[in-house]
Structure 1
Amino acid sequence: MAESMSVILLLLVLTSYKMSCLHAQDLPILMPHYYEKSCPCAFPIIRNEMHLALLKDPRMAASLLRLQFHDCFVQGCDASLLLDDTPTLRGEKTANANINSARGFDVIDLIKTKLESECPGVVSCADIITIAARDAVLLSGGPYWEVSLGRKDSSTASFNDANNNIPTPNSNLQTLITSFQKQGLSTVDMVALLGGHTIGNARCQNIRPRIYNNSASMAFSEPHLSMVKAACPPSGNDNGVWPLDFPTPILFDNSYYINLVRGLGLLNSDQTLYSEGSETKEIVESYAHDPLGFWKQFSESMVKMSNIVDPLTFVTGEVRKNCRTVNDPL
């Protein structure tokens, strides 16, 4: 018994030493060709499954993009969002920012199943989210950017951080700036990344504060406003949806910013970019006039966000066999 305890203590000391000696320069470096030899079919499989998913439901592009945003803002980009609740783990799916909103988990499951059949235990769920989000934008007519890979999947999740770190649809400008700064993202990154709202829908529950107050910044035409209110009455139909970018809801363009300049932002947290701050207003105006400038900055900011990784994940993380659950211990 004493001998067994000694072995356990030795393992704990070695693990502690390994983690304490781990410096940034010692970490595995994320790289674009990480799966070039171990799983060369990873990119084609993910692209094909995303193409099929968008053919069935064009909204899925925005959903997969949102998955990466909501995952990376909690513990870094480690697929913690994908974990289901268990008796010993409270996941992030039921946090306020995700419940009845985050979707696309079945698409990730399908991609993971295909990859496991080709390259068992190789491609992490965190990397799947990263590639799928990029392909979602590309397949919606948006820009391409090179993704760096090699992330590990966490064995933990944080319900509390999901509630605290992810901005709400009614956040004011300072709250938004603070939330992004906490992740090491600048105001420019913030305005560009929120441009992802050029695709997808918002739930009625999140739209009402915008359409049922007479804000001076709201410039919806009466026919448009009447349509939105018909879809989202003052009460009921909380999970009904309306396009965030009404003119081109499935095309990744810069009309989101054109809408903000016109006072047509559907969420308070969107319109505040133009209505509350001089710096963000200038950025919005520049993207409204320069779609390629928006694409360039969005791509750079997506790379920056996707590289938010907790260094300890490289030590304690794993490549999950099923994205919804941690691997069984050996």
Structure 2
Amino acid sequence: MSGPHPAVAACRVAVRDALGDLELGTRIWVACSGGPDSLALAAAASYVGRKHGYLVGAIIVDHGLQPDSAVVAERAAHQVRRAGIHTVHIEKVIVGRSGGQEAAAREARYTALEARIDREGGLAPLLLTGHTMDDQAETVLLALARGSGARALSGIPARRGRIVRPFLNVRRKDTMMACEALGLDPWHDPTNTIEDGPRRSALRSKVMPAMIEVLGPGVVSGLARSAALLQADADELDRQARSAMGTSVSTVRSDEWRCDMLAALPDAIRTRMLKMLAENRGAGPLTATHVAALDSLVTAWKGQGAISLPGGFEARREYGRLVISHPSEEERRP
């Protein structure tokens, strides 16, 4: 008796390995758009769930950004049920404008997903998303083009909190073959092919094929491998920065730190620590420009005044100390 199609088997193994040994009855949710990646993930999660006794459901988010978005969502729900998942929720959201449409849609999507998971409860629920190796490679290239640091270049994490991404070692072509082998009919997002679509769409349809033609098919796995290596490095540097935050760089007050001790830290640790200190105070998220300005107060101070930070905060240097405060806090002080 022959086994499953190799692509189907690869998807199932990826999900099984990503989940590890969970308790019987663990609630597993699949974020599904109806596209080939998330639909292949739904089918694999359904199979693994039946084998290991997990409770598997799917959540479909209708962003309302296209005239037929409700139809697409219902179509996705139908395909998810064909994939073996019968607990399906469709969440309709309103996408704002902050940070651009793509970022706003992502924010609305994850807010809706988390809210549904919280409402449903259950044993240690996890959320699976269908990001593939190709998505990882594209993310690294976008970060590289922006001049980002190691954390951004490390790409999409395999796990963050209760969000798990089993397919980061699975190619997009394999999810498409898995859907075909299972008789599933995925939806193909038209914004992935239109000329004036999102930047990632142009990268996917134009840049990546050109890179593969010039550098060979191994470029995708190479970029993903680089992301994994950088992720390990970034995790360790972040750990050291957090450790340094617990040393004597702080003063009696919780909003100021000794510049001489900050300046003595290695650049990679100090800049991460400055970002953490500011964001822990509520001033965030910080950009590379903000971090560089903070660092100049510590290592290249020539009498420059305060710098503005997100959230209405400001940073300044006083008597050899870095102070991060909010005007409202200053007013309350005696």
For normalisation by structure 2, the TM-score amounts to: 0.25
Q: Relative contact order: is structure 1 or structure 2 higher (C-alpha 8 Å, sep ≥ 6)? A: 1
Larger radius of gyration: 2
Larger strand proportion of the pair: 2
For normalisation by structure 1, the TM-score amounts to: 0.25
